Amino acid sequence: MTLVKIMDAQATPPSSISPPPGKSRFFPSLALVRALAALIVVYDHLVGMWLQRNRVSWRPAEIIDRWVFEPLHLMTHGGGMAVAMFFMVSGFVIVYVSQRETRREFAIRRALRIFPPLWVSIALLLLAHAALLACNSAEALRGYALQEVLDQPNPWPYVAAAMTLANYLLGTPAVNGVAWTLIIEVFFYATVALLLPLLKTRPRVAIVVAFVGLALLQQVARSSAFVFLLAVNGVYVCYLFLGSLIYLRWAGRIGNGFLIVGSVAFWLLFLRGMRDIALQPPFQLSDYGVSYGLAWLAFVVLLVLDDRLRLGRVSDFFSRISYSLYLNHGGLGLLALTLLYPVLGYSAALALTLPAVVAISAASYRWVEVPSQRLARHWTSRSG
């Protein structure tokens, strides 16, 4: 069965998919993608990257590399594919939820979704640094994004830039190294917000406008440092629109022909921008093509199987905490491994680090994400 036939089987008329005001349909497939992507990213950083950076051998990682990542030619121990899976979910979900939101509602809800957990993750890293200083162990931070900020004569403007994600447009160092994907998300949100009236009434025109705008941005990328950094992030935004196109086809807003042509166009624009602007050695264009291509395929297959999927408690849990886990595992987890490894060895250090990071992320979800989302709904309530 071809992809377009599968999408035909999944598509329903727009009137029948619109949920009641204030409610969204739950997609088990998207929740599963979030959970899997979060766990793969954790593996990439706490196993693959940490072992590589510290030149430590660990037999389980060697087996997984040999039999999974190397045969599939996946970059960064699967981390690139996992990030692409997150992008696909965002591309689908953001256009979906925007259909019943005003620009004000859209902006407030996205801002309170992104920034409070980010601020808490930065605060936790700064507290960890203060604790290490008190214990004369600050050397453990060498080589991490936070230390580059704190080495500045006056680090606080850099911290402020990192808290607003402006550092990724100014070229200043990050505090939380994994936050690079968030400026891409914010860029995508801004694009959707600008195109919101067209997305609701003339989605084909909106997609064409987005494509033309992103293509022009690539053309003028080298006109200034600021524009270049904006264009680098815009390359990844091209990929998020692949998820948006799948939503629009699922919702019956576009046809199969537009889905195919639009997907090919954004995919080629993504690869072109990656080749000319955003490629990061030692990776090659083929590395991004394979990892991001497999992420697209995995997303589509799981979405097609959505009605047959049932989430277990574990996958549901990791789906819910996936954003906080993404934010907190890198800085805090890598730091914990670095401190514990000389004393306990890698296996024991990892066994202690993983549950600690999951616990911190679950607390962030419970006490930061949930309240901030409630606040967003309160501020944007129709009766408010």
DSSP state string for 6-53: HHHHH---HHHHPPPTT-----HHHHHHHHHHHHHHHHIIIIIIHHHH
The average pLDDT across 296-301 equals: 97
Whether residue 278 contacts residue 230, with contact meaning beta carbons closer than 8 Å, is answered with no
Q: CA–CA distance from 103 to each of 20, 77, 274, 375 (Å)?
A: 19, 38, 30, 17
Q: Of 48-57, 136-145, 363-372, give the lowest mean pLDDT range.
A: 136-145
pLDDT score for 318: 98
pLDDT score for 25: 80
The answer to whether residue 348 sits within a structural domain is: yes
Whether residue 315 contacts residue 31, with contact meaning beta carbons closer than 8 Å, is answered with yes
The average pLDDT across 139-161 equals: 83
What pLDDT band is residue 381 in, cutting at 50, 70 and 90? Answer: confident
Q: Which residue has the tokens 């051998």?
A: 57
The answer to whether residue 384 sits within a structural domain is: no
What pLDDT band is residue 130 in, cutting at 50, 70 and 90? Answer: confident
What pLDDT band is residue 134 in, cutting at 50, 70 and 90? Answer: confident
pLDDT tens track for 299-352: 999 999 999 999 899 999 999 999 999 999 988 999 899 899 999 999 999 999
**Interatomic CA distance for residues 200 and 86, integer angstroms:** 24
Q: CA–CA distance from 33 to each of 38, 83, 173, 285, 335 (Å)?
A: 8, 11, 30, 24, 27
Q: Of 5-19, 158-172, 179-193, 235-249, give the lowest mean pLDDT range.
A: 5-19
Whether residue 246 contacts residue 238, with contact meaning beta carbons closer than 8 Å, is answered with no
What pLDDT band is residue 144 in, cutting at 50, 70 and 90? Answer: confident
The average pLDDT across 86-108 equals: 96
pLDDT score for 8: 42
- In 49-102, which ranges are continuous DSSP H helix? 50-54, 59-64, 70-72, 79-98
The answer to whether residue 97 sits within a structural domain is: yes
**Tokens representing 126?**
């700064």
pLDDT: is 146 or 16 the higher one? 146
The answer to whether residue 283 sits within a structural domain is: yes
Average of per-residue pLDDT values in the chain:
91
Tally the domains of the chain.
Answer: 1
**Tokens representing 336?**
């914990």
Give the closest residue to 336 by CA, choosing from 314, 352, 315: 352
pLDDT score for 15: 32
Phi, psi of 247 (to 5 degrees): -60, -50
Q: Is the pLDDT of residue 10 over 60?
A: no
pLDDT score for 138: 63
Give the pTM. 0.92
The average pLDDT across 21-46 equals: 89
Q: Is the pLDDT of residue 1 over 90?
A: no
Give the closest residue to 203 by CA, choosing from 240, 251, 237, 161: 251
pLDDT tens track for 50-89: 999 999 999 999 999 999 999 999 999 999 999 999 999 9
The average pLDDT across 175-204 equals: 96
Query: What is the extent of the structural domain holding 301?
Result: 3-379
Coil, strand or helix at 155? coil
Q: Is the pLDDT of residue 382 over 70?
A: no
Helix, strand and coil percent figures for the chain, each rounded to 5:
80, 0, 20
The average pLDDT across 184-212 equals: 97
pLDDT score for 18: 38
pLDDT score for 129: 85
Q: Helix count (H) and strand count (E) of the chain?
A: 22, 0
The average pLDDT across 225-238 equals: 97
Residue type, position 276, single letter: D
Q: Is the pLDDT of residue 234 over 80?
A: yes
Phi, psi of 2 (to 5 degrees): -75, 165
